Each structure stands twice: as structure tokens, then as C-alpha cells.
Amino acid sequence: MSSLFFSFIGMCIVALVFICVPLFRFSQFGHKRNASAQWFEQRLAELTDELEQGRFTQQQYEFAVTELKLTTKFELTKENKVQPTIINEFGFSSKILISVLFVVFISGFYLFYGNYTKLSNWQDSIDELPDLTQKIIQNQNQAPTVQELQSFALGLRTKLAVKDEAIGWMLLGRTLLALNDINSAIDAFKKSYDRDPKSVTNIVNYAQALYLKGEDFELGKAVNILREALYLQPDNMMALIIFGESNLLLKRFDNAKEAFELALSQLNADDERTVALRQRIEFINQSTGTQTPDTQTNDIQNGLTITVQLDDRVTASGTQFRYLFLFAKSASSPVPVAVKKLPISNFPLTVNLSDSDIMLPDVKLSDQSSVNITARLSIDEAAGLTAGEWQGELLDIKPSANEPITIVINKETK
């Protein structure tokens, strides 16, 4: 704040210069005019004395007086290039009073209409940022006020100008979203996504803001980036729901239905979101003229017989892993066609992946022309990819071939 006051004092000094310099010039003009008048009176008296003493004739006297008047008029004309005003009649105390009144007027105008209040609020936001962070992020029992959210956003912007971090932009985006500033929230989430594009949280937040914008271009962008999130974390509920809602608004009913059914299969029966998801699916069925199958097709015995082997590098550190995930994905969808989760046992391990492992009742493994197979060692039950986990891939596998295949887990996730 000190720089603000120094700047204000500097502006006042400049303003006073603009006032005092003309005042000084007007004062000089008055002095010169008075000096010219005194000189004229003195010279006229001298000419009169010389006439009385007989040094001039009457004709010479009149000629001298005429010359004196012309000379005096010429001097006054030069000085009159700057027109005098009523301020010339002011004394020194009046000029000081004008200067003081001017400073008071400028100060009052700045306080009421300038940026002082905004700058003061900015400084307060910086000071209150730690307390606001704790209240907004950690205190879930008490909702922050609009003013607190605005102060928090202002403080975050200032902090991000010094230290540019993905998590900071993500927090700013959520705050702006709470303030219903959708466009600014999209900008903040995009910065967070650009700085950490592998974070599923960043992807979902960015996609949610794009979805709330509701325009076709933003919806298409949300769908595209959510494919990345579902590849990294196929069971992410928020990603599935936003993916389905965005496709529904774009009238891509097949993709929307696939996402809603997958999300529905992962929710508990008493979850309140199941009602909304079933309504969405029913709406899609009515719009497309299809019916929801009453029962799932019987499992087929013929599927993919997969033998999973471990690279030597995995064997050395394999004790930390608890589960084996097998995914079969088509190239046209980020959602897995079939998934199987098994506890870690002795390798090599032979697993059958068939229609009994499909994610959606109307998307069968046996109906796919080709799929990509992924085998992943996971440290927990989450299907999402985590740094330090290992996986292997096989591309363009035909499920109808019914031939045994072998996949080697040999790639570590960084």
C-alpha cells in the first residue's frame, strides 16, 4: 500500500505545479503592469516639470507626452498576450486556500470513485487467503458467502501470478464455478488441464465447466477430453455421467446410453442417482424406438483365452500388487467392452474373458470385430491407472478367433 500513497502524493504535487505556476505567472504579470503604470506617472511628472521650467515649448511637451503614451501602450500590449483574470487579484493566502481545496477535492474524489477501495480489498484478500482456504476447502459444514468466494478468488489470482500451479488453477476454477462465472471457470480449468493433462480430476472439472456452458462446441470438447479420463480411469462415476449427459445433448444417443448403463451398473440400488440414470435411459429408448432388454444374454463359453506373463523387471517388485485387471476395449469407445478383476496369484496365469464379463448388456465382446487387450497389475481395487503400476497391451485382437493368446506385462506407468 505504500507505493499507492507515494503515487498519490506524486500526483498531488504535479497537480499543485499546474495550479501554482499559472498563479505565479499571473502575479508576475500584475507586478509588471503596476511597474509600467508607475513609470508612466513618474515620466509624465518629469515632463510637466520641464515644461514649467521652460525647457520645452508647448508643442515639444505635447509631442513628448504622445511618445510616452505610445511607448507605455506598446509595453502593456506585450504583457497583455496572457489575458489577466480575476485570480490576479487574489493574495498569497487565497492561493494557498485554493491549493488546499484542490487537494481535498482530489482526495475525496479518488476515495469515492478511484481504485483505492479495490486495492484495499485486494490487500485484505491477500491477508485473509490462509483463513479463507481453510474455511472454503476444509470446513464442509458452513457454506462460504459470495463475498468470501470473491475474496478467495482474488487472493488465488494473486498467488498464481507468483506461483503457477495446476492445483491453484483448479481451485480457482471451482471457486468461479460456485460464483456462476462459467467463462472464467472454463479458462481456469483449461490452465489446470494444460499443466497436468494426466490428472483425471483436472479433466473432469474442465469437462464439467464445458458441459455447463451447454453449447455444441464446448460439449464436443468435453466429450473428447472425457475419453482421456475414461481411458485412465474407466470407473470414474463423474466422468461417465458427464460423458453421457454431453452426448445426450449432442443427440449421440448410443454413446450416451452406453455411459449411463455403465454408470448405473456401478451404483448401489439405493443411490439416488439411479433414478435419474434410468430416466435418461428410458428417454433414449423412446427417442430411438428401442426397448431395454429384460434379461441379459446368456454367457457364452467361447471367449478369449488369455495367458498373462510377467516381465522379469515386474517379478522383482511384484509383491506390492494386489489385483490383476483385464480390459477389452474397442477402438471406437473409451468405455471397456469387458473387464475382469482377479486377486494376484502365481504367474503365468490363464484367464478367460467372454461375454460374461461385459460392462453393458447390449455391447457384447463377441460382437466386436477387434479389440485391444490390456492386462494391468494394480496396488488397489481401483481400475484407474496409477503411477508405479505395470501393464501390457495387445492390439487388434479378434474375439471370434477363439485362439489362445499371451500378453506380457512389461510397461511401467510413470
Per residue of the chain (414 residues), what is the pLDDT tens digit? 455 455 656 666 666 665 555 555 555 555 555 666 676 677 777 777 777 777 767 777 777 777 767 776 666 565 555 444 444 444 555 556 666 666 666 666 555 555 545 444 544 544 555 555 555 555 555 667 777 777 777 777 888 888 888 888 988 888 888 888 899 999 999 999 999 999 999 999 999 999 988 889 999 999 999 999 998 888 899 999 999 999 999 999 999 999 998 888 888 777 878 888 888 888 888 888 775 544 334 444 457 889 999 988 886 555 678 888 899 998 777 778 888 888 787 788 888 888 878 877 778 888 888 999 999 988 876 666 777 788 999 999 998 777 789 999 999 887
Domain boundaries, the chain: 2-114, 164-288, 304-412
**Encoded amino acid at 256, one letter:** A
Q: What digits encode the pLDDT tens for the residues 106-159?
A: 666 555 555 545 444 544 544 555 555 555 555 555 667 777 777 777 777 888
CATH architecture assignment, domain 164-288: Alpha Horseshoe (1.25)
pLDDT at 131: 56
The residue length of the chain stands at 414
Nearest to 402 by CA among 301, 332, 333, 330: 301
Dihedral Cα 227, 229, 234, 236, nearest 10 deg: -130
Phi-psi region of 267 (alpha: psi -120 to 50; beta: other; left: phi over 0): beta
pTM for this model (two decimals): 0.49
Is the bond preceding residue 361 a cis peptide, omega within 30 degrees? no
CA atoms within 13 A on the CB side of 5: 3
Which residues on neighbouring strands pair with residue 373, listed in sequence order? Answer: 328, 394
Alpha-carbon span 265 to 280, nearest angstrom: 14
Cβ-in-10-Å burial (0-12, 13-18, 19+) of 242 comes to buried
Collapsing DSSP to helix, strand or coil, 348 comes out as coil
Cell numbers 513609470: residue: 39
Asked if 156 and 175 touch (Cβ cutoff 8 Å), the reply is yes
Alpha-carbon span 137 to 154, nearest angstrom: 16
362-392 burial code (b ≥16 CB/10 A, e <16): ebbbbebeebbbbbbbbeeeebbbeeebbbb
pLDDT at 242: 94
**How would DSSP label each residue in 177-212?**
HHTT-HHHHHHHHHHHHHH-TT-HHHHHHHHHHHHH
Alpha-carbon span 410 to 14, nearest angstrom: 73
Q: What digits encode the pLDDT tens for the residues 82-107?
A: 444 444 444 555 556 666 666 666 66
Rg (CA), the chain: 43
pLDDT at 222: 94
pLDDT at 125: 46
285-298 burial code (b ≥16 CB/10 A, e <16): eeeeeeeeeeeeee
pLDDT at 184: 92
